[in-house]
Amino acid sequence: MLPDCLSAEGERRCRRLLAGATARLRARPAAAAVLVPLCSVRGVPALLYTLRSSRLPGRHKGDVSFPGGKCDPADRDVVHTALRETREEVGLVVPEEHVWGVLRPVHDQRKTTVVPVLAGVGPLDPQSLRPNPDEVDEVFALPLAHLLQEQNQGYTHFCHGGHFRYTLPVFLHGPHRIWGLTAVITEFTLQLLAPGVYQPCLASPELPRG
Amino acid sequence: MAAMVLAATGLLRGSGSWGRSRLRFGAPAYRQFSSGGAYPSIPLSSPLPGVPKPVFATVDGQEKFETRVTTLENGLRVASQNKFGQFCTVGILINSGSRYEAKYLSGIAHFLEKLAFSSTDRFDSKDEILLTLEKHGGICDCQTSRDTTMYAVSADSKGLDTVVGLLADVVLHPRLTDEEIELTRMAVRFELEDLGMRPDPEPLLTEMIHEAAYRENTVGLHRFCPTENIAKIDRSVLHSYLRNYYTPDRMVLAGVGVGHEQLVECARKYLLGTRPAWGSGAAVHVDGSVAQYTGGIVKLERDMSSVSLGPTPFPELTHIMIGLESCSFLEGDFLPFAVLNMMMGGGGSFSAGGPGKGMFTRLYLNVLNRHHWMYNATSYHHSYEDTGLLCIHASADPRQVREMVEIITREFVLMAGTVDVVELERAKTQLMSMLMMNLEARPVIFEDVGRQVLATRSRKLPHELCALIRDVKPEDIKRVASAMLRRKPAVAALGDLSDLPAYEHVQAALANKDGRLPRTYRLFR
């Protein structure tokens, strides 16, 4: 049973659960921040993803990710970074009151911290968004119901130096495969929004280290 | 007849009787030394008596027999394809390989391959197994790849029962004695040494490109045992792996040239309800990882100036392989990728050529025919159940590595360009003819049946595949090539790498519309 996370009661619950982490991490400097946009597409709760442009230089070209980017010194805090990047990349303006809180930060292979910020953006039509073609090739939404189905969930064991090190989740059968840090952040979000329903594959709360 | 024997012995007794026998039997009319004289009166239009009646195959045009699949109660699948002939090929395919070794010591699959058909509970040694097979004119072999392990026996059809019993014993009840494991360690060391020594670097490059493309997960794990693990693998390690992966639901017993009911009966007799050598505990920790394409670069600097194993010198070459993610063999886009791979084709520059060798494929026409300093440009397509890799291998003199990389990236970018109709038809015809020609051989049919049933529980017959290949259009090629080019490349390089462009430059070249590397200006070379 998918709890009604778009309702006012659901929002209050999430805000309450995230309040402690938000207060602690909001002002702490980090390398990058992303926005996890919880929207409602045709009445169905969904998460919004972007497909990064293959013309971008760098390690993450062509990958699926949440809108976001590096923290600028001019930004007030990580929430501001996430909202600014979302506006620049996707053309979606999210007012600060719609931010529900800050999720657990994740680290990528180079130990840079990425802070996910969860916001409820309300009803949205992904087709109406005009993404910036230099940074984003495509914007798509995946319903929570799709992400919570077991046949769409997978995992991958990673090794290093000949030994097993960590496991990362992967979400399949959407328009694009969701893996890496984006899948980890999706897992945190699903654990928060549907606690009984989603079985996390990251068994320990330890963060994956590259 | 008796008269002739007497005459012959008369001759042998010596010159004395010579004259006498001549007079005794009159003038010799004709002497017959061949035995054909016993049937002088049967005409050629009637069959010879005493000769077994021959059985002929009927030429029908299509494979009349369907592949039949039965699943037993313990999850084991039995698949058979009947085929005319005196011999059959039967084997067991298992979903086990180096891709499942994440939580185990790397190299277990390699050891199992070398240990196959050694002593078991019923057969005391490898020689006994070979002697048993010899009675039925049989041979046996084991092959492991990244995701499948295959034990196969080809023998006379009358020996089916013995063969299935032998296979069951070899797979489920191997003894894995210390002596055999020690011999296997030596064999593995020899194989690793050979890999490093041979002038043809293809297996090594395949390892490296998988490692680069699937960094440290599933199919990117080492297929050959790394040197440090050779001494660590022993019986208990092997048992802990076998307990989890040699389970009936991961196995297929496939047979070609056998009747389905007989094969199922043999399977029930030998493979149902039997307790394997490592105990019958339930399988836990079965790795269901999804292969994750990461892209990346793996470099191996090596002095290739004296790789020749004989007196003839071999030129010093640098080898590179550039790969991009394609798709799994279960997806609909698999056949367009196969046609694309055939269209790229390629091979060595010293090929004798000829019809069917791919002399009109793109890598020959655009690369090897135009740039005579390239030694090799070949396209490969590896495909697994959840991912695939299309790569091009090229080799040239170390001083021309940069140009070589640019030529290959240009070829990749042109894959997404216009596809000539004639070129596409040629590639499709070549793919279909290769498919049909290879599927005339019984061992290939066996592997096809086994792999398809292992992955999908049913089998697409060759004529169905040919119909699907004929349906591939230029738009399909363009679509799959464009989707492929969006992803990060995987690069493997071997040899003298001083001129190799950086990974980011290769990435930029593949995103460039001409496939050109970014210009770098260096003041001091």
Round to whole Å and give the CA distance between A1 and A4.
9
Same domain, yes or no: B324 and B238: no
The domain boundary, picked from B271, B304, B329, lies at B271
Residue A58 has pLDDT above 90, yes or no: no
> Which residues on chain B are in Cβ contact (under 8 Å) with A165?
216
Contact partners, residue B161, CB within 8 Å, separation at least 6: B266, B269
Choose among B217, B226, B485: nearest Cβ to A157.
Answer: B217
CATH of the domain at A70: 3.90.79.10
Interface contact flag, A157 B103, Cβ < 8 Å: yes
Least confident of A68-72, A142-146, B420-424, B485-489: A68-72
**Encoded tokens for A78:** 């990580």
As a whole number, mean pLDDT of residues A199-207 equals 56
CB–CB of A159 and B102 under 8 A? yes
Residue A29 pLDDT = 79
> Chain B within 8 Å of A55 (Cβ-Cβ)?
yes
Partner residue facing B290 (CB), from A54, A137, A172: A172
To probe the interface with A, which of B292, B297, B504 has the most A CB atoms within 10 Å?
Answer: B292
- A137, A154, A160 member nearest B290 (Cβ): A154
Alpha helices (runs of H) in B353-496, residue ranges in sequence order: 362, 401-415, 421-438, 442-456, 462-470, 474-485
Q: What is the pLDDT of residues A84-115, one digit of tens each?
A: 888 888 888 888 888 888 888 888 777 788 89
Please give the tally of structural domains in chain B: 2
Please name the member of B229, B292, B487 whose beta carbon is closest to the beta carbon of A156.
B292
Please give, rounded to a whole number of angstroms, the shortest distance from the CA of B431 to a CA of chain A. Answer: 29
Q: Does A112 touch chain B (CB under 8 A)?
A: no
Structural domain of residue A103, as residue ranges? 8-143
To the nearest whole percent, how much of chain B has pLDDT over 90?
70
Do B300 and B383 reside in the same domain of the chain?
Answer: yes
Of the residues B256, B271, B286, the one at which a domain ends:
B271
Pick from B134, B143, B137: which is nearest to B85 by CA? B137
Task: State residue B16's pLDDT score.
Answer: 46
Q: Which residues of B touch A55 (CB under 8 A)?
A: 511
DSSP code string of B103-119: TS-TTHHHHHHHHTTS-
- Residue A52 in this model has a pLDDT that exceeds 90: no
Is residue B210 classed as helix, strand or coil in its secondary structure?
A: helix
Query: How big is the A-B interface in CB pairs under 8 Å?
Result: 54
**pLDDT value of residue A108:** 79
**Same domain assignment for residues B409 and B474:** yes
Q: Look at residue A208 in the predicted model and tell me its pLDDT.
A: 43
Return the structure tokens found at B255.
Answer: 């047979």
Closest alpha carbon within chain A to B290: A156
**CATH, residue B231:** 3.30.830.10
Is residue B291 a part of any domain in this protein?
no
In the predicted model, residues of chain B with pLDDT beneath 50 are 7-8, 10-11, 14-19, 21, 23
Identify which has the larger pLDDT, B118 or A71: B118
Is A204 a domain residue?
A: no
Supply the pTM of this predicted model: 0.86
Same-domain pairing of B99 and B153: yes
Domain that holds residue B316: 296-511
Touching check for A54 and chain B: CB below 8 Å?
yes
Whole-number Å distance between alpha carbons of A67 and A86: 5
Final residue of a structural domain among B271, B305, B339: B271
Token pair recorded at residue B380: 């490969």
Phi, then psi, of B355 in degrees rounded to 5: -65, 140
ipTM for the assembly:
0.86
Q: Which residues of A touch B511 (CB under 8 A)?
A: 54-55, 61
The confidence score (pLDDT) of residue B471 equals 95
Residues from chain B contacting residue A157 (CB–CB below 8 Å): 102-103, 217-218, 287, 289
Amino acid B352: pLDDT: 78
| Chain B CA closest to residue A172 | B290
Phi/psi at B183 (5° precision): -65, -40
In a domain, B464, yes or no: yes
Contacts of A159 in chain B (CB under 8 A): 102, 216-217, 221
